[in-house]
């Protein structure tokens, strides 16, 4: 049996045309939904990102696995799907990230893995490294293709915008100045496809895509698929005080 797990970070649950969204068009995801099983009432167990992923990877509520904020280490006494399938004979791989902070107990205080929380989930074998939410392999790919990648890769989202200063709140509608086939999502999907096609034994892999997580910097034509004037208003109250009761 071959198993492919795909996730997308900060995807709003209703934003699938397969679910009848009036504006968003998601043809590839719709095809997956058509060929598989579509869960209309699936809920993330926690926010922000890392606690939500920890719940998904372990099958435990946040208050049980105790990963309650980004950067909180996952206790090594807890198992997860990667460890379980490894025990069954698979070597799970990862394209993307899980942002799993390693359990510090038993490690040297100077262990470099303690300086960030970008480690893969325990049990994962081959993986594509990421730092500061940017794939280091993708950065090298862009450099090899001649893009002017800045010294600090995270800055490429502002410096590869056509004159837009993202940090100063620049217009997110303007495109990221790379070709769409060179975008991070496109690159990661192609890496995963190439790996799958090279396998000769049963496999399991996790394709973990960062987008639509900010920054909102898309290449053409995706930056202008929708006119902001046609979008419905956000579902929110008129004031912060009115919002507060639904966010305990």
Residues carrying an active site annotation: 49
Q: How far is CA 170 from CA 161, 165, 167, in A?
A: 9, 5, 7
Task: Measure the CA–CA gap between 210 and 9, rounded to whole angstroms.
Answer: 5
Residue 227 tokens, joined: 């006119």
Q: How far is CA 11 from CA 17, 29, 43, 211, in A?
A: 13, 12, 12, 8
**Phi-psi group of 219: left, alpha or beta (phi > 0 → left; psi -120 to 50 → alpha; rest → beta):** beta
Comparing CA positions, the residue from 186, 167, 164 lying closest to residue 175 is 164
Q: How far is CA 23 from CA 40, 41, 91, 189, 216, in A?
A: 18, 20, 40, 24, 18
Estimate the crossing angle of helix 184-197 against helix 136-144, to 10 degrees: 100
Task: Measure the CA–CA gap between 68 and 73, rounded to whole angstroms.
Answer: 9
Specify whether the CB–CB gap between 74 and 67 falls below 8 A.
Answer: yes
- Tell how strand 134-135 and strand 130-131 pair up: antiparallel
């Amino acid at each position: 049996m071959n198993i492919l797990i795909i996730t997308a970070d900060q995807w709003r649950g209703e934003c699938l045309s397969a679910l009848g969204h009036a504006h968003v068009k998601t043809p590839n995801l719709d095809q997956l939904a058509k060929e598989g099983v579509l869960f209309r009432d699936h809920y993330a167990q926690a926010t922000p990102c890392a606690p939500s992923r920890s719940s998904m990877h372990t099958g435990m509520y946040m208050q049980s696995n105790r990963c309650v904020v980004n950067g909180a280490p996952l206790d090594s006494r807890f198992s997860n799907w990667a460890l379980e399938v490894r025990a069954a004979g698979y070597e799970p791989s990862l394209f993307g990230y899980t942002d799993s902070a390693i359990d510090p107990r038993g490690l040297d205080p100077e262990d470099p893995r303690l300086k960030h929380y970008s480690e893969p989930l325990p049990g994962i074998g081959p993986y594509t490294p990421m730092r500061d939410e940017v794939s280091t392999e993708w950065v090298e790919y862009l450099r090899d293709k001649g893009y002017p990648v800045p010294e600090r890769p995270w800055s490429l989202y502002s410096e590869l915008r056509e004159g837009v200063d993202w940090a100063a709140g620049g217009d997110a509608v303007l495109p990221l100045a790379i070709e769409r086939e060179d975008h991070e999502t496109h690159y990661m999907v192609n890496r995963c496809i190439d790996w799958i096609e090279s396998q000769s034994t049963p496999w399991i892999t996790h394709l973990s895509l960062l987008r639509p997580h900010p920054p909102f910097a898309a290449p053409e034509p995706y930056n202008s698929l929708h006119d902001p004037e046609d979008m419905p208003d956000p579902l929110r109250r008129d004031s912060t005080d009115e919002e507060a009761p639904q966010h305990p």
